[in-house]
Each structure stands twice: as structure tokens, then as C-alpha cells.
């Protein structure tokens, strides 16, 4: 019997114990590859918001009436379940695509040289948010599309998008301590903008939870609130978000801030205007499905551009050419 060489046996054992470290020892991605991997994870995170909206707006939320299987006897949708089953099951399959995208971002970040611990941790944060949201999505189905669980499902996806934006941004900068680019008063104003945007998105989920698009053709209970009143509150928060964005842009101009911060704030303002137009048009047209879906996409875009404005208020310079890279520590895979 021919024995297995020790180096082969040892390499296989190392790959099993810590596959990420094993890959990192043998592959060094280009910095652009790391950033592209982070961008792909972000794009798929937004896509799953759109497909999740399609599930709800087509009344396919219970197309697969149970979880984790699609039916009691089938993992996948069946012909008898029709298009509703196909749409709902397709959205479930997209979760695997999202896992693959986030996994690729983690591998690329872990394999970067020098080793970037914070970037890798942000990747793992996305992974655990995806896992948590997958379980929460199953709970949404099991409780018959309870509007509070649906709202939580969307908010957790917003947290995923925020983490993905941060990872994409951090992949393009260094690991030095952050250096402020604007005055402290403008940083406080930016944080106020972020807080109001979070409230805007949260109240938007209440508008959805009390509105007519329940996600299924059956009688799904809605949130017991005055839909018109909460819609007006959502509109007021939207106007406050716009006013804060304008105030921030004016402040940045007065303090002669860097061009990148001005550009990011201007872009957020334009996205807010587009989202506002869609919001008012869908309201006066009695919430047609297509416009509601565009409004959900717009919500994700508003959040992305808000986080990008926050990140543009400081910088982390890249390492100087010829700097000695830090050693990649041997550490276990996060549990």
C-alpha cells in the first residue's frame, strides 16, 4: 500500500481546519478584485430587495406555504402551485446567490495582503445577517405574513445593505486611523441625517404593513394604524430628510469642504428627489404595483447614498508604497 506524503496529508488537514487561511496562503487577490467582490455582494443585496418586493406585490408571499421546504412533501415548488410558487421559490433560491456573493467577498478580504482584519469582519457580519434574515424569512411564511415580521425582514435587509456599503468603501481605502474631512458641526449634521433616514425607512415599513399590498391573495391581517396618518408622517420625514441634505450641502459649500463630500451629498439629494416623485405619484394613483416596487428600490438607493455621504466625511489614506505588510495571523474561522 502506497502511503500519502506528509506534505499532502498536512495540507489537506490544514484546509479542513481553516479553509480560509489555506486559501489565503496560496492566493493574493488584486485590491481591485477585493473591491469588486464587495460591490457584487452589495448589488445582490439590492437585487434581493427588488425580488422580495416582487414576491409581495404579486401576491406570492405564501406561494410556498411552509418553510424550509416549499410544501410538506417537496423542497421545490410544484406545478400545481403555479406562478406564485415559482416566484416565491425563486426568491428563496436567490438567497443562495447572496450567500455565494458574500462568501466570495469574505474570501477575497481574508486573502488580501496585508491581512485586513476589519474588512474580513465586515464580510462575516454580512454573512450572519444573511443567515439571520433567512431564518426570519422562514418565520414570515410560518406566521402567515404577519406584517410586523415582514417589516423586521426588510429592516434587517437594510442593515445588510449598510454593511455591504461599508465593506465596499473600506475595500478602496487604507487601514490608517480615520481623518475627518469636515468640521465637527457638519459631522453632527450628517449623523442627524442618518438618524432621520433610518426613521424614514422604519416608518415606511409601517406604511407598507398597514397598506393594501399584504403579499398574498388571502386575507392577511394588517397593522392596526391609521394608514393615511402614518403615510403623512412618512412624507414629513421625507421632506425633513431632503431639508437636512440641502442644509448639509450648503454647510459643505460654506466651509469649502472636499469635492467628494459635496458630490456625495448632491447625489443623495438627486436620489431623494427621484424617490419623492415616485412616492407621490404612487400615492395619487392608488399604489400601482410597479411604482410600489420602484419605490422599494428607491428606498434601498436612498439608504446606500446616505451611508456613502456619512463615509465621505472622513478618509483613511492608503498605505505608502513600499510599506512593510503586517503578518497574517493564524486565527480560527469565526464561529
Profile the chain (335 residues) by mean pLDDT over runs of 10 residues. 49 65 90 96 96 89 89 86 90 95 96 92 97 94 92 96 97 91 96 98 93 73 91 96 98 93 97 95 90 94 98 83 41 36
Residue 1 has a pLDDT of: 46
What residues does 314 pair with on adjacent strands? Answer: 180
Summarised one tens digit per residue, pLDDT across range 94-135 is 999 999 999 999 999 999 999 999 999 999 999 999 999 999
Q: What is the per-residue pLDDT for 319?
A: 60
pLDDT value, residue 12: 55
Compute the C-alpha angle 56/306/231, nearest 5°.
45
Give bridge partners of residue 187 from the DSSP assignment.
none
pLDDT given for residue 60 in this prediction: 87
pLDDT of residue 218: 63
Cα–Cα dist 137/307, whole Å: 25
CB proximity list for 22: less than 8 A, separation 6 or greater: 11, 14, 15
How many Å apart are CA 40 and CA 251, to the nearest integer? Answer: 34
Residue 31: the pLDDT is 92
What are the sequence ranges of the domains in the chain?
A: 23-175, 179-317
pLDDT of amino acid 62: 87
Q: How far is CA 101 from the centre of its chain?
A: 12
User: pTM value?
Assistant: 0.88
- Contact residues for 266 (Cβ-Cβ < 8 A; gap 6+): 249
Q: What is the three-class DSSP state of 312?
A: coil
Amino acid at each position: 500500500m502506497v502511503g500519502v506524503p506528509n506534505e499532502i496529508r498536512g495540507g489537506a488537514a490544514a484546509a479542513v481546519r481553516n479553509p480560509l487561511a489555506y486559501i489565503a496562503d496560496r492566493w493574493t487577490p488584486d485590491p481591485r478584485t477585493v473591491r469588486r467582490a464587495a460591490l457584487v455582494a452589495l448589488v445582490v443585496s439590492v437585487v434581493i430587495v427588488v425580488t422580495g418586493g416582487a414576491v409581495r406585490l404579486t401576491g406570492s408571499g405564501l406561494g410556498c406555504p411552509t418553510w424550509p421546504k416549499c410544501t410538506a412533501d417537496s423542497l421545490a415548488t410544484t406545478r400545481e402551485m403555479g406562478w406564485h410558487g415559482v416566484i416565491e421559490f425563486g426568491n428563496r433560491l436567490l438567497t443562495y446567490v447572496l450567500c455565494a456573493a458574500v462568501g466570495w467577498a469574505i474570501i477575497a478580504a481574508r486573502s488580501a495582503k496585508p491581512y485586513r482584519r476589519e474588512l474580513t469582519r465586515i464580510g462575516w457580519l454580512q454573512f450572519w445577517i444573511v443567515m439571520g434574515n433567512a431564518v426570519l424569512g422562514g418565520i414570515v411564511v410560518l406566521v402567515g405574513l404577519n406584517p410586523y415580521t415582514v417589516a423586521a425582514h426588510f429592516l434587517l435587509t437594510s442593515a445588510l445593505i449598510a454593511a455591504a456599503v461599508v465593506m465596499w468603501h473600506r475595500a478602496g481605502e487604507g487601514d490608517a486611523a480615520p481623518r475627518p474631512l469636515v468640521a465637527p458641526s457638519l459631522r453632527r449634521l450628517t449623523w442627524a441625517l442618518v438618524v432621520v433616514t433610518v426613521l424614514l425607512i422604519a416608518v415606511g415599513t409601517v406604511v407598507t404593513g398597514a397598506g393594501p399590498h399584504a403579499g398574498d391573495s388571502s386575507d392577511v391581517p394588517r397593522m392596526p394604524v391609521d394608514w393615511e396618518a402614518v403615510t403623512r408622517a412618512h412624507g414629513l420625514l421625507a421632506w425633513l430628510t431632503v431639508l437636512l441634505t440641502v442644509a448639509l450641502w450648503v454647510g459643505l459649500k460654506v466651509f469649502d469642504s472636499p469635492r467628494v463630500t459635496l458630490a456625495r451629498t448632491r447625489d443623495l439629494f438627486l436620489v431623494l428627489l427621484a424617490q419623492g416623485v415616485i412616492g407621490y405619484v404612487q400615492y395619487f394613483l392608488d399604489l400601482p404595483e410597479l411604482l410600489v416596487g420602484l419605490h422599494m428600490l428607491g428606498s434601498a438607493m436612498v439608504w446606500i447614498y446616505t451611508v456613502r455621504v456619512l463615509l465621505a466625511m472622513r478618509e483613511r489614506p492608503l498605505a505608502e508604497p513600499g510599506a512593510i505588510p503586517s503578518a497574517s495571523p493564524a486565527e480560527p474561522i469565526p464561529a
